[in-house]
Amino acid sequence: MPHPRLIFHIDVNSAFLSWESVYRLKEDPTTLDLRTIPSAVGGDASSRHGIVLAKSTPAKKYGISTAETLVSACRKCPELVVVPSRFELYQEYSGKLIALLEQYTPDIEKFSIDEAFLDMTQTIHLFGEPAAVADRIRRQVEDTLGFTVNIGIAPNKLLAKMASDFEKPNRTHTLFADEIPGKMWPLPLRELFFVGSAAAGKMERIGLHTIGDIAACDLSVLKAHLGDKYGTLIHQYANGIDDEPVEERNPINKGYGNSITLPRDISDYDTARQILLALSETVGARLREDQVRCNCISVELKDWQFGTQSHQLTLEVSTDSTSRIYQSACRLLDEFWDLTPVRLIGLRTSRISDDTFEQMSLFDNEQNRRMQSLEKCVDSIRGKYGIDSIKRASFLNEDAIVDHAVSKNKHRKDNR
């Protein structure tokens, strides 16, 4: 008889801040542990610009929340210690965590930089009872790596993830079928995985307020308000139904880039910006297609004498948005181009991360979220009806030096 599925979800507690603290303590054991004081990771520590990427437990007591501006956070807590983020360092600690988890099962899905699913179905008998094994993993992570994790145990990925979000930090929680009515259904509906603010608002307007309300709601009602596909999915999730396997994701490319050699040399910002928009269209679409985000953008110029120069910037928040990529590229262009005639313009994104890393992508304001939804809608239309089925008005001008899709067949994934 096949074993019943057993899934663990591992979630690092205050990942960025924990990893930053561990690193600083390793470098100087006498330094103050950031986790014990009001502190936050994110933005520019000197100017207090940017947003909160992670905060300590003491910072939470001041009402500081992830995604709010540092200016707002510092108003709430003037003594808040702010440190800049170091993404490469966090990737290193994430890799160490995965290497440790591989001792327990080969079936691991890295869900984000600080989360992973383990399918323990075939290996749990080697280690003991599920809760005891999870506690062993937590102790091992803390003893060997210096930070803590929450672990959710359940028969599927959805319930395991929900369980790991219960009381924190450094806890083990279970969420099996018979525990759903008592542990999950009383929770506010916004705590159900995959329920965004827009969907939550629609459901609340028809009298649904808890996950249990969704579970008990007539499916036809949910479909009418949320659409067939999403309504069905949310109804299944509310009832603890999820058959998605734990599986390794495709390797993430190191970078996505695109460039174009122009039919004539150009020496004005307006034309150059339009070319950057065309390049941003294809690069952004590729990022969204592969479900990844970039954290670094660079612009390359080759002038009429074949001299090459480039300039790059690191984003505070990773993105897959065409608009953000374009805005950043224009900023770079303004900073380093002296209007020397150019014959080639290139755009490259790097420091790629999985876009399921929502801790970073949730920092968008409402306008940015709407733009992201619009861009994904455009991707869908182009995928169904062709690349030319929808284009920006700025490319309708017959005098435009490039078409909106001129580089579509030239885009490349940079795996260097």
Report pLDDT for 408: 40
Distance of CA 224 to CAs 115, 193, 204, 229, 240, Å? Answer: 34, 20, 14, 11, 21
Report pLDDT for 415: 39
Q: Is the pLDDT of residue 366 over 70?
A: no
- Residue 79 DSSP one-character state: T
Domain borders along the chain are 1-175, 185-238, 255-414
Q: What percent of the chain has pLDDT over 70?
A: 82
Phi-psi region of 11 (alpha: psi -120 to 50; beta: other; left: phi over 0): beta
How many Cα neighbours within 13 Å face the side chain of 247? Answer: 5
Arithmetic mean of pLDDT, 36-58:
79
Report pLDDT for 412: 37
pLDDT digits (tens, 9 = 90+) for 197-213: 778 999 999 999 999 99
Report pLDDT for 358: 42
- Among 140, 132, 131, 133, CA closest to 105: 133
Report pLDDT for 369: 60
Which stretches of 148-291 are assigned E, i.e. beta strand? 149-154, 172-174, 255-266
Q: Is the pLDDT of residue 318 over 80?
A: yes
CA angle 362, 366, 367 (to 5 degrees): 120
Report pLDDT for 53: 82
| CATH topology (fold) of 1-175 | Alpha-Beta Plaits (3.30.70)
Phi-psi region of 245 (alpha: psi -120 to 50; beta: other; left: phi over 0): beta
Report pLDDT for 70: 85
Residues 6+ away with beta carbon under 8 Å from 27: none
55 within 8 A of 40, measured Cβ to Cβ? yes
The CATH class of the 185-238 domain is mainly alpha
Element (DSSP H or E) covering residue 360: helix 358-361
Q: How far apart are CA 190 and CA 205, in angstroms?
A: 13
Q: Which residues pair with 23 in a beta bridge?
A: none
Which tokens go with 11?
């979630």
Report pLDDT for 197: 77
Alpha helices (H) in 197-265, listed in sequence order? 197-205, 211-216, 219-226, 228-238
- Among 165, 167, 218, CA closest to 192: 165
Q: Is the pLDDT of residue 60 over 60?
A: yes
| Terminal-residue alpha carbon distance, the chain | 47
Q: Is the pLDDT of residue 90 over 60?
A: yes
44 band by pLDDT with thresholds 50, 70 and 90: low
Q: Which residues pair with 301 in a beta bridge?
A: 309, 345
151 band by pLDDT with thresholds 50, 70 and 90: very high
Arithmetic mean of pLDDT, 122-149:
97
Q: Which residue has the tokens 């950031």?
A: 34
Which residues carry out catalysis?
Answer: 115
Report pLDDT for 360: 42
Reply yes or no on domain 255-414 having CATH 3.40.250.10: no
Arithmetic mean of pLDDT, 311-316:
85
Report pLDDT for 289: 84
Q: Which residue has the higher pLDDT, 408 or 123?
A: 123
Q: Is the pLDDT of residue 384 over 60?
A: no
Q: Which residue has the higher pLDDT, 97 or 354?
A: 97
Report pLDDT for 285: 87
Q: Is the pLDDT of residue 297 over 50?
A: yes
- Residue 166 DSSP one-character state: S
Report pLDDT for 203: 96
Arithmetic mean of pLDDT, 96-100:
96
Q: How far apart are CA 342 and CA 305, in angstroms?
A: 8
pLDDT digits (tens, 9 = 90+) for 235-253: 999 999 999 999 876 656 6
Highest mean pLDDT among 105-119, 362-376, 382-396: 105-119
Q: Is the pLDDT of residue 388 over 90?
A: no
Q: Which residues pair with 112 in a beta bridge?
A: 115
Report pLDDT for 316: 77
Which tokens go with 329?
């590229």
Q: What percent of the chain has pLDDT over 90?
A: 51
Report pLDDT for 42: 80
Lowest mean pLDDT among 111-115, 163-167, 183-187, 371-375: 371-375
Give the number of other Cβ atoms within 10 Å of residue 134's Cβ. Answer: 27
Report pLDDT for 385: 55
Lowest mean pLDDT among 221-225, 280-284, 405-409: 405-409
Arithmetic mean of pLDDT, 144-158:
97
Instruction: Write down the mean pLDDT value for the chain.
Output: 85
Report pLDDT for 413: 40
